[in-house]
Amino acid sequence: MSERDLSKSNELFQRAKRVIPGGVYGHQSPSLLVPGSFPTFISKAEGCRLTDPDGNEYIDFLCAYGPMVVGYRNPQVEEAVERQRHQCDSGNLPAPNMVELAERLVGLTPGIDWTVFAKNGSDAASWSLAIARAATGRELVAMVERTYHGVHGWANMMHEGFPAAERANIVSFAWNDAEGLERLADEHAGKLAAVIVTPFKHEAFGDSVMPAPGFLDTVRTVATRSGAAMIVDDVRAGFRLDMRGSAQLWGVTPDMILYSKALANGYPLSAVLGNDGLRDAAKRVFVTGTFFTQAVPIAASLATLDYLEANDGIARMRELGNRFCKGLSDRAEEAGLAVTLSGPPAIPFMTFQKDEGSFERSRVFAAACAARGVFVHPCHNWFVSTAHSEADVDFALDVAAEAFETVNGQFEEA
């Protein structure tokens, strides 16, 4: 149980359970956490700080699971949003700023000639497969096993409720197994429409794994040789590692790139970016959505990109992330705990080696952090934003040092 008063949060959760199945969706479901250790709702968010319904404040290292990249209610983004809100948002037609954002993304991204917009990463991922299938006249898609590309049937890791037929055209290979991918491509020669990968492996319930040297190059080569589209699902990592698309960090140029999360600093927007070879297919695939024309998220996106560029946001997040990761590993060592820090500094994650995948110590650690005003998740990677300051990171490190002691206190052999 938290030392903080979470009574309003808990009351809301009891009400929610009656009218919302499970009460709270996804990773923040209390079933994944030490019972009663986290608030279940957030009332206010500003910069890198959250306030729960009981008035407790947290420095947030989950950043809304990625979208918040330049700070909750970032003044420049909010000003652009307000300006656009006074013009139009949802409409029969898109607003002129859709063209501006498409041009901006095409200009930013090597090898990319067009962009189409949607509302979330799952839709963007499914749409990109449809484009690849329309372009190649093939149905099979290769993806990395146990990789999250959204909640649609082909990608959803929880199979409950989805017919097996939805996964019938998916074949998989292991992350960083270049030979395995080559074998798979040979086995399905002439049948692959696409190979879809994330820029690094960032699954919940596991350490993040960076691409082995040459792995993304092999994906590129195999896709080209197979006549398949290489899709990089940058939904989670986009605009935290490289403004040109995360794959450029490894010198790789995909045929399609998927963005969402950080693209509009929390406003609902996703994008599929592609090259000229796929343009006709993108024209033929019918996709639409009630809110696809929304101009406010597009205004938010343009302002977010402006802010990141003007403030050298990528370098800033890398510096802060490095400070955070180094501090965590130093504090853990001082506490006599063996931890693994994984992922790029701007999207870090920490696990306890003695947990061996159980996340027991991680749960206790995250609960102890929440009780002291730092929001991290035990089983899902964390995020750094440009709104964090050195002082915020240092505060979090002091809290982590106390949380390590709590772990030591609760596990005989920590």
Ligand X SMILES: Cc1ncc(COP(=O)(O)O)c(C=O)c1O
Binding site for ligand X (CB under 6 A): 120-122, 125, 148-150, 198, 233, 235-236, 260
Residue nearest to ligand X (CB): 121
CA distances from 414 to 331, 332, 336, 353 (A): 14, 11, 8, 9
Least distance in Å: CB of 381 to ligand X?
A: 9
> H/E element holding 258?
strand 256-259
Residue number, 123 or 392, with CB nearest to ligand X:
123
Least distance in Å: CB of 268 to ligand X?
A: 8
> H/E element holding 13?
helix 7-19
Query: Which residues in 119-240 belong to E strands, given as ranges?
Result: 140-144, 170-173, 192-197, 229-233
Strands 229-233 and 192-197, by their bridges, are parallel
Which is it for the CA torsion 172, 176, 178, 183, positive or negative? negative
Least distance in Å: CB of 1 to ligand X?
A: 29
Cα distance between residue 67 and residue 82, in whole Å: 19
Least distance in Å: CB of 68 to ligand X?
A: 14
Residue number, 120 or 322, with CB nearest to ligand X:
120
Q: Which of 397, 210, 390, 401 is nearest to 317 (CA)?
A: 390
DSSP SS3 for 379: coil
Least distance in Å: CB of 236 to ligand X?
A: 3
Q: Which of 241, 236, 263 is nearest to 252 (CA)?
A: 241
Burial label, 340 (beta-carbon count in 10 A; 0-12, 13-18, 19+): middle
Residue number, 162 or 411, with CB nearest to ligand X:
162
Q: Per the structure block, which two tokens stand in for 71?
A: 């700070």
Strands 170-173 and 140-144, by their bridges, are parallel
Residue number, 150 or 343, with CB nearest to ligand X:
150
In terms of DSSP H, where are the helices of 137-278? 178-187, 215-226
Residue number, 264 or 403, with CB nearest to ligand X:
264
Query: What's the helix, strand, coil split of the chain in %, to 5?
Result: 45, 15, 45
Residue number, 118 or 285, with CB nearest to ligand X:
118
Least distance in Å: CB of 198 to ligand X?
A: 5
Least distance in Å: CB of 199 to ligand X?
A: 9
Beta bridge partners of 232: 197, 257
Identity of the residue numbered 274: G
Residue number, 260 or 293, with CB nearest to ligand X:
260
Residue number, 131 or 339, with CB nearest to ligand X:
131
Residue number, 230 or 367, with CB nearest to ligand X:
230
Identity of the residue numbered 272: V
Least distance in Å: CB of 243 to ligand X?
A: 18
> H/E element holding 333?
helix 313-334
Least distance in Å: CB of 270 to ligand X?
A: 6
Residue number, 34 or 194, with CB nearest to ligand X:
194
Which 8-state DSSP code applies to residue 272? Answer: E
Least distance in Å: CB of 25 to ligand X?
A: 10
**Cβ(384)–Cβ(343) below 8 Å:** no
